[in-house]
Protein backbone atom coordinates (compact mmCIF):
# COMPACT_ATOMS: atom_id res chain seq x y z
CA UNK A 1 0.00 0.00 0.00
CA UNK A 2 2.83 2.36 0.88
CA UNK A 3 4.54 1.58 -2.43
CA UNK A 4 1.35 2.51 -4.37
CA UNK A 5 0.98 5.83 -2.50
CA UNK A 6 4.66 6.68 -3.11
CA UNK A 7 4.43 5.85 -6.82
CA UNK A 8 1.26 7.94 -7.29
CA UNK A 9 2.96 10.86 -5.52
CA UNK A 10 5.80 10.75 -8.03
CA UNK A 11 3.42 10.61 -10.98
CA UNK A 12 1.31 13.55 -9.75
CA UNK A 13 4.33 15.75 -9.08
CA UNK A 14 6.38 15.04 -12.22
CA UNK A 15 5.72 18.52 -13.53
CA UNK A 16 8.98 19.65 -11.98
CA UNK A 17 11.39 20.47 -14.74
CA UNK A 18 14.61 18.57 -14.72
CA UNK A 19 17.85 20.42 -15.23
CA UNK A 20 18.69 20.34 -18.91
CA UNK A 21 22.07 19.46 -20.29
CA UNK A 22 22.69 23.11 -21.20
CA UNK A 23 21.98 24.29 -17.66
CA UNK A 24 24.16 21.52 -16.34
CA UNK A 25 27.05 22.64 -18.52
CA UNK A 26 26.64 26.28 -17.44
CA UNK A 27 26.70 25.21 -13.82
CA UNK A 28 29.87 23.21 -14.38
CA UNK A 29 31.51 26.12 -16.21
CA UNK A 30 30.67 28.51 -13.38
CA UNK A 31 32.06 26.06 -10.84
CA UNK A 32 35.29 25.52 -12.77
CA UNK A 33 35.76 29.29 -13.25
CA UNK A 34 35.29 30.02 -9.56
CA UNK A 35 37.61 27.16 -8.66
CA UNK A 36 40.25 28.52 -11.06
CA UNK A 37 40.00 32.00 -9.53
CA UNK A 38 40.23 30.60 -6.01
CA UNK A 39 43.34 28.64 -7.00
CA UNK A 40 44.98 31.77 -8.44
CA UNK A 41 44.22 33.74 -5.26
CA UNK A 42 45.58 30.93 -3.13
CA UNK A 43 48.73 30.68 -5.25
CA UNK A 44 49.32 34.45 -5.04
CA UNK A 45 48.95 34.43 -1.26
CA UNK A 46 51.31 31.49 -0.70
CA UNK A 47 55.07 31.93 -0.66
CA UNK A 48 57.09 29.65 -2.92
CA UNK A 49 58.11 26.42 -1.18
CA UNK A 50 61.80 25.55 -1.45
CA UNK A 51 62.36 21.80 -1.46
CA UNK A 52 65.45 20.69 0.46
CA UNK A 53 68.25 19.58 -1.81
CA UNK A 54 69.47 16.03 -1.47
CA UNK A 55 72.83 15.74 0.18
CA UNK A 56 75.56 14.65 -2.19
CA UNK A 57 76.80 11.14 -1.52
CA UNK A 58 80.15 9.71 -2.50
CA UNK A 59 81.00 6.05 -2.94
CA UNK A 60 83.32 4.48 -0.41
CA UNK A 61 86.70 3.88 -2.01
CA UNK A 62 89.85 2.13 -0.93
CA UNK A 63 91.26 5.39 0.42
CA UNK A 64 88.42 5.55 2.98
CA UNK A 65 89.45 2.23 4.61
CA UNK A 66 92.20 1.88 7.22
CA UNK A 67 93.58 -1.58 8.00
CA UNK A 68 94.73 -2.36 11.53
CA UNK A 69 97.06 -5.37 11.51
CA UNK A 70 97.98 -7.04 14.78
CA UNK A 71 101.44 -8.62 14.49
CA UNK A 72 104.00 -10.45 16.58
CA UNK A 73 107.66 -9.46 16.44
CA UNK A 74 108.74 -13.11 16.73
CA UNK A 75 106.77 -14.12 13.62
CA UNK A 76 106.99 -10.91 11.59
CA UNK A 77 109.92 -11.92 9.39
CA UNK A 78 107.88 -14.87 8.10
CA UNK A 79 104.38 -13.43 8.12
CA UNK A 80 105.18 -10.15 6.44
CA UNK A 81 105.23 -12.10 3.17
CA UNK A 82 101.46 -12.49 3.53
CA UNK A 83 101.04 -8.74 3.96
CA UNK A 84 103.22 -7.99 0.93
CA UNK A 85 100.87 -10.09 -1.20
CA UNK A 86 97.80 -7.89 -0.74
CA UNK A 87 99.20 -4.54 0.41
CA UNK A 88 99.31 -1.79 -2.22
CA UNK A 89 101.86 0.91 -1.42
CA UNK A 90 100.51 4.46 -1.86
CA UNK A 91 96.98 3.05 -2.29
CA UNK A 92 96.05 1.15 0.86
CA UNK A 93 96.08 2.80 4.29
CA UNK A 94 96.88 1.07 7.55
CA UNK A 95 99.25 0.35 10.42
CA UNK A 96 100.94 -2.81 11.64
CA UNK A 97 100.79 -2.91 15.44
CA UNK A 98 103.68 -4.84 17.03
CA UNK A 99 104.23 -6.09 20.56
CA UNK A 100 107.78 -4.68 20.43
CA UNK A 101 110.13 -2.94 18.00
CA UNK A 102 111.39 -4.77 14.92
CA UNK A 103 113.99 -3.98 12.30
CA UNK A 104 112.61 -2.42 9.15
CA UNK A 105 114.04 -2.03 5.67
CA UNK A 106 113.33 0.61 3.08
CA UNK A 107 111.20 -0.09 0.02
CA UNK A 108 109.78 -3.34 1.38
CA UNK A 109 106.29 -2.41 0.26
CA UNK A 110 104.83 -2.74 3.76
CA UNK A 111 102.54 -0.58 5.92
CA UNK A 112 103.75 1.72 8.67
CA UNK A 113 104.84 -0.18 11.79
CA UNK A 114 104.03 1.00 15.32
CA UNK A 115 104.30 -0.53 18.79
CA UNK A 116 101.06 -1.16 20.66
CA UNK A 117 100.38 0.55 23.98
CA UNK A 118 101.04 -1.28 27.25
CA UNK A 119 98.07 -3.50 28.21
CA UNK A 120 99.45 -4.91 31.48
CA UNK A 121 96.99 -2.81 33.53
CA UNK A 122 94.04 -4.65 31.98
CA UNK A 123 92.77 -7.75 33.75
CA UNK A 124 92.48 -10.96 31.76
CA UNK A 125 90.54 -13.87 33.23
CA UNK A 126 89.98 -16.18 30.26
CA UNK A 127 91.82 -19.39 31.15
CA UNK A 128 91.53 -20.78 27.64
CA UNK A 129 92.82 -17.64 25.94
CA UNK A 130 95.98 -15.56 25.87
CA UNK A 131 96.70 -12.06 27.13
CA UNK A 132 97.75 -10.99 23.66
CA UNK A 133 94.04 -10.95 22.76
CA UNK A 134 93.75 -7.66 24.68
CA UNK A 135 96.39 -5.98 22.56
CA UNK A 136 94.95 -7.41 19.35
CA UNK A 137 91.42 -6.26 20.17
CA UNK A 138 92.71 -2.72 20.82
CA UNK A 139 94.16 -2.38 17.32
CA UNK A 140 91.10 -0.53 16.04
CA UNK A 141 90.86 1.84 19.00
CA UNK A 142 94.56 2.70 18.74
CA UNK A 143 94.18 3.41 15.02
CA UNK A 144 91.13 5.56 15.76
CA UNK A 145 93.08 7.68 18.25
CA UNK A 146 95.56 8.61 15.53
CA UNK A 147 92.93 10.97 14.13
CA UNK A 148 93.42 10.00 10.51
CA UNK A 149 91.33 12.06 8.11
CA UNK A 150 88.66 10.90 5.67
CA UNK A 151 88.22 7.44 7.23
CA UNK A 152 84.91 5.60 6.96
CA UNK A 153 85.86 2.06 7.95
CA UNK A 154 88.47 0.43 10.17
CA UNK A 155 89.26 -3.18 9.23
CA UNK A 156 91.10 -5.38 11.72
CA UNK A 157 93.18 -8.45 10.89
CA UNK A 158 96.18 -10.49 11.96
CA UNK A 159 99.56 -10.64 10.27
CA UNK A 160 98.57 -14.01 8.76
CA UNK A 161 95.37 -12.58 7.27
CA UNK A 162 95.16 -11.96 3.53
CA UNK A 163 92.62 -9.38 2.33
CA UNK A 164 91.14 -9.09 -1.14
CA UNK A 165 91.00 -5.32 -0.79
CA UNK A 166 88.66 -4.81 -3.73
CA UNK A 167 86.04 -7.03 -2.12
CA UNK A 168 86.46 -5.76 1.40
CA UNK A 169 85.16 -17.58 8.82
CA UNK A 170 87.52 -19.54 11.14
CA UNK A 171 88.60 -23.08 10.24
CA UNK A 172 91.88 -24.94 9.83
CA UNK A 173 93.10 -27.92 7.82
CA UNK A 174 92.56 -28.26 4.07
CA UNK A 175 90.44 -25.39 2.70
CA UNK A 176 89.67 -27.14 -0.60
CA UNK A 177 86.18 -28.24 0.46
CA UNK A 178 85.27 -24.78 1.70
CA UNK A 179 86.79 -22.61 -1.03
CA UNK A 180 85.78 -25.00 -3.81
CA UNK A 181 82.11 -24.33 -2.96
CA UNK A 182 82.37 -20.64 -2.17
CA UNK A 183 79.02 -18.88 -2.66
CA UNK A 184 78.38 -16.28 -5.34
CA UNK A 185 79.55 -13.41 -3.14
CA UNK A 186 82.88 -11.57 -3.23
CA UNK A 187 85.72 -13.18 -1.29
CA UNK A 188 86.87 -10.60 1.26
CA UNK A 189 89.65 -12.26 3.26
CA UNK A 190 91.39 -15.47 4.32
CA UNK A 191 92.42 -15.84 7.95
CA UNK A 192 94.98 -17.82 10.00
CA UNK A 193 96.92 -19.05 6.99
CA UNK A 194 99.68 -20.39 9.23
CA UNK A 195 97.39 -23.08 10.67
CA UNK A 196 95.89 -24.30 7.38
CA UNK A 197 97.51 -26.28 4.61
CA UNK A 198 98.73 -24.31 1.57
CA UNK A 199 95.72 -23.58 -0.63
CA UNK A 200 97.73 -24.84 -3.63
CA UNK A 201 99.55 -28.14 -3.04
CA UNK A 202 103.27 -28.35 -3.66
CA UNK A 203 103.87 -24.74 -2.60
CA UNK A 204 104.69 -22.94 0.61
CA UNK A 205 101.82 -21.00 2.19
CA UNK A 206 103.22 -17.66 1.09
CA UNK A 207 103.88 -18.86 -2.48
CA UNK A 208 100.37 -20.34 -2.68
CA UNK A 209 98.84 -16.98 -1.71
CA UNK A 210 100.99 -15.19 -4.27
CA UNK A 211 99.84 -17.71 -6.88
CA UNK A 212 96.19 -17.04 -6.02
CA UNK A 213 96.71 -13.30 -6.40
CA UNK A 214 97.67 -13.76 -10.05
CA UNK A 215 93.98 -14.43 -10.67
CA UNK A 216 92.79 -11.88 -8.13
CA UNK A 217 94.60 -9.09 -9.97
CA UNK A 218 92.82 -10.07 -13.19
CA UNK A 219 89.31 -10.33 -11.76
CA UNK A 220 88.96 -9.94 -8.00
CA UNK A 221 85.16 -9.92 -8.13
CA UNK A 222 85.03 -13.41 -9.67
CA UNK A 223 87.72 -15.07 -7.58
CA UNK A 224 86.53 -18.44 -6.21
CA UNK A 225 83.01 -17.87 -7.49
CA UNK A 226 81.44 -21.30 -7.96
CA UNK A 227 79.85 -22.31 -11.27
CA UNK A 228 78.21 -25.70 -11.81
CA UNK A 229 77.76 -27.46 -15.15
CA UNK A 230 77.19 -30.97 -16.51
CA UNK A 231 78.56 -33.10 -19.35
CA UNK A 232 75.51 -35.01 -20.60
CA UNK A 233 77.53 -37.35 -22.83
CA UNK A 234 79.91 -38.54 -20.11
CA UNK A 235 77.55 -38.05 -17.16
CA UNK A 236 79.95 -35.74 -15.34
CA UNK A 237 79.15 -33.12 -12.74
CA UNK A 238 81.60 -30.22 -12.87
CA UNK A 239 82.20 -27.50 -10.29
CA UNK A 240 84.41 -24.54 -11.24
CA UNK A 241 85.79 -22.27 -8.53
CA UNK A 242 87.28 -19.55 -10.71
CA UNK A 243 90.96 -18.85 -10.21
CA UNK A 244 91.35 -21.76 -7.80
CA UNK A 245 90.13 -25.24 -8.71
CA UNK A 246 87.96 -27.37 -11.02
CA UNK A 247 86.39 -30.55 -9.62
CA UNK A 248 84.81 -33.32 -11.72
CA UNK A 249 82.58 -36.08 -10.33
CA UNK A 250 81.29 -39.16 -12.09
CA UNK A 251 77.50 -39.17 -12.27
CA UNK A 252 74.94 -36.41 -11.97
CA UNK A 253 74.99 -34.66 -8.60
CA UNK A 254 72.38 -32.06 -7.76
CA UNK A 255 73.46 -28.40 -7.57
CA UNK A 256 72.21 -28.20 -3.98
CA UNK A 257 74.68 -30.91 -2.96
CA UNK A 258 77.56 -29.42 -4.93
CA UNK A 259 76.96 -26.05 -3.30
CA UNK A 260 77.58 -27.58 0.14
CA UNK A 261 81.27 -27.55 1.18
CA UNK A 262 82.86 -30.94 1.76
CA UNK A 263 84.42 -31.33 5.20
CA UNK A 264 88.08 -31.36 4.21
CA UNK A 265 88.57 -28.72 6.94
CA UNK A 266 88.20 -28.76 10.72
CA UNK A 267 86.53 -26.45 13.19
CA UNK A 268 88.67 -23.84 14.89
CA UNK A 269 87.70 -25.41 18.23
CA UNK A 270 89.12 -28.91 18.06
CA UNK A 271 86.51 -30.43 20.37
CA UNK A 272 83.64 -29.18 18.20
CA UNK A 273 82.27 -31.32 15.39
CA UNK A 274 80.71 -30.34 12.06
CA UNK A 275 77.39 -29.47 13.72
CA UNK A 276 79.07 -26.37 15.19
CA UNK A 277 79.32 -24.69 11.78
CA UNK A 278 76.87 -21.94 10.90
CA UNK A 279 76.45 -23.47 7.43
CA UNK A 280 75.61 -26.89 6.01
CA UNK A 281 78.42 -29.27 5.03
CA UNK A 282 78.73 -32.74 3.52
CA UNK A 283 81.17 -35.55 4.41
CA UNK A 284 84.19 -36.52 2.34
CA UNK A 285 83.42 -39.77 0.55
CA UNK A 286 85.76 -42.73 1.11
CA UNK A 287 84.83 -44.55 -2.08
CA UNK A 288 87.51 -43.85 -4.72
CA UNK A 289 84.99 -43.79 -7.58
CA UNK A 290 82.93 -41.11 -5.83
CA UNK A 291 85.84 -38.78 -5.14
CA UNK A 292 86.25 -35.75 -7.42
CA UNK A 293 89.09 -35.32 -9.87
CA UNK A 294 90.82 -32.09 -8.97
CA UNK A 295 92.41 -29.57 -11.33
CA UNK A 296 94.18 -26.66 -9.61
CA UNK A 297 94.74 -23.37 -11.38
CA UNK A 298 98.19 -23.26 -12.93
CA UNK A 299 98.15 -20.03 -14.95
CA UNK A 300 95.70 -17.27 -15.76
CA UNK A 301 95.94 -14.42 -18.22
CA UNK A 302 93.89 -11.85 -20.10
CA UNK A 303 93.30 -12.65 -23.77
CA UNK A 304 93.16 -9.23 -25.45
CA UNK A 305 91.84 -10.34 -28.88
CA UNK A 306 88.96 -12.23 -27.25
CA UNK A 307 88.59 -9.74 -24.38
CA UNK A 308 88.39 -12.64 -21.94
CA UNK A 309 90.21 -13.71 -18.80
CA UNK A 310 91.49 -17.24 -19.39
CA UNK A 311 92.58 -19.75 -16.76
CA UNK A 312 94.55 -22.96 -17.20
CA UNK A 313 94.29 -25.73 -14.63
CA UNK A 314 96.33 -28.87 -14.09
CA UNK A 315 95.26 -32.15 -12.52
CA UNK A 316 96.82 -32.89 -9.16
CA UNK A 317 95.72 -36.52 -8.87
CA UNK A 318 96.44 -38.31 -12.16
CA UNK A 319 94.11 -41.24 -11.53
CA UNK A 320 91.50 -42.90 -13.71
CA UNK A 321 88.86 -40.47 -14.87
CA UNK A 322 87.28 -42.79 -17.42
CA UNK A 323 85.86 -45.98 -15.92
CA UNK A 324 87.94 -48.86 -17.25
CA UNK A 325 90.28 -46.54 -19.13
CA UNK A 326 93.63 -44.88 -18.56
CA UNK A 327 94.43 -41.27 -17.92
CA UNK A 328 96.13 -39.56 -20.80
CA UNK A 329 98.85 -37.27 -19.33
CA UNK A 330 98.81 -35.22 -22.54
CA UNK A 331 95.25 -34.13 -21.74
CA UNK A 332 95.77 -33.23 -18.14
CA UNK A 333 95.12 -29.55 -18.82
CA UNK A 334 91.78 -27.80 -18.84
CA UNK A 335 91.18 -24.48 -20.55
CA UNK A 336 88.55 -22.27 -18.90
275 or 18: which leads in pLDDT: 275
Reported pTM? 0.64
pLDDT digits (tens, 9 = 90+) for 113-150: 999 998 888 888 888 778 888 888 889 899 999 999 99
Domain that holds residue 245: 226-335
Residues 115 and 176 in one domain: yes
The pLDDT value given to residue 327: 38
31 or 238: which leads in pLDDT: 238
Residues 71 and 205 in one domain: yes
Residues 234 and 215 in one domain: no
Asked which of 164, 189, 219 is the last residue of a domain, the reply is: 219
Residues 211 and 272 in one domain: no
| Structural domains counted in the chain | 2
Cβ atoms of 159 and 99 within 8 Å: the answer is: no
| Residue 290 belongs to some domain of the structure | yes
| Range scoring the smallest mean pLDDT among 106-110, 174-178, 272-276 | 174-178
**Three-state secondary structure call for residue 224:** coil
Confidence class of residue 262 from pLDDT cuts 50, 70 and 90? confident
| Range scoring the smallest mean pLDDT among 30-39, 43-52, 116-125 | 30-39
Helix runs in 2-97, H state only = 2-12, 21-45, 76-86
Residues 210 and 72 in one domain: yes
Residues 87 and 195 in one domain: yes
**Alpha carbons 245 and 201: distance in angstroms, whole number:** 11
Per DSSP, the residues of 266-321 read EESSTT--GGGSSS--BPPP--GGGSPEEEEEEEEEEETTTTEEEEEEEESS----
Residue 315 burial (CB count, 10 A): 20
**N- to C-terminal Cα separation, the chain:** 93
Mean pLDDT of all residues in the chain? 76
Confidence class of residue 230 from pLDDT cuts 50, 70 and 90? very high
| Residue 190 belongs to some domain of the structure | yes
Cβ atoms of 204 and 184 within 8 Å: the answer is: no
| Residue 192 belongs to some domain of the structure | yes
Residues 314 and 174 in one domain: no
Amino acid sequence: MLYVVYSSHLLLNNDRQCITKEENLKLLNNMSTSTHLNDEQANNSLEPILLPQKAQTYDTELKHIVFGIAASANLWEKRKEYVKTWWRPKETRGIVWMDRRVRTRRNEGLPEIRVSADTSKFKYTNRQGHRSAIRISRVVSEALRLGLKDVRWFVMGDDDTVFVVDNVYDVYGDLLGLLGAHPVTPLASLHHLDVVEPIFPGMTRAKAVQHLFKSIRLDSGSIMQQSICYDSKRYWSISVSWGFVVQIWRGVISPRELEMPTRTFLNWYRKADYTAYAFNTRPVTKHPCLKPFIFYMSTSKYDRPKKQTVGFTIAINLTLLFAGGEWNPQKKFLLL
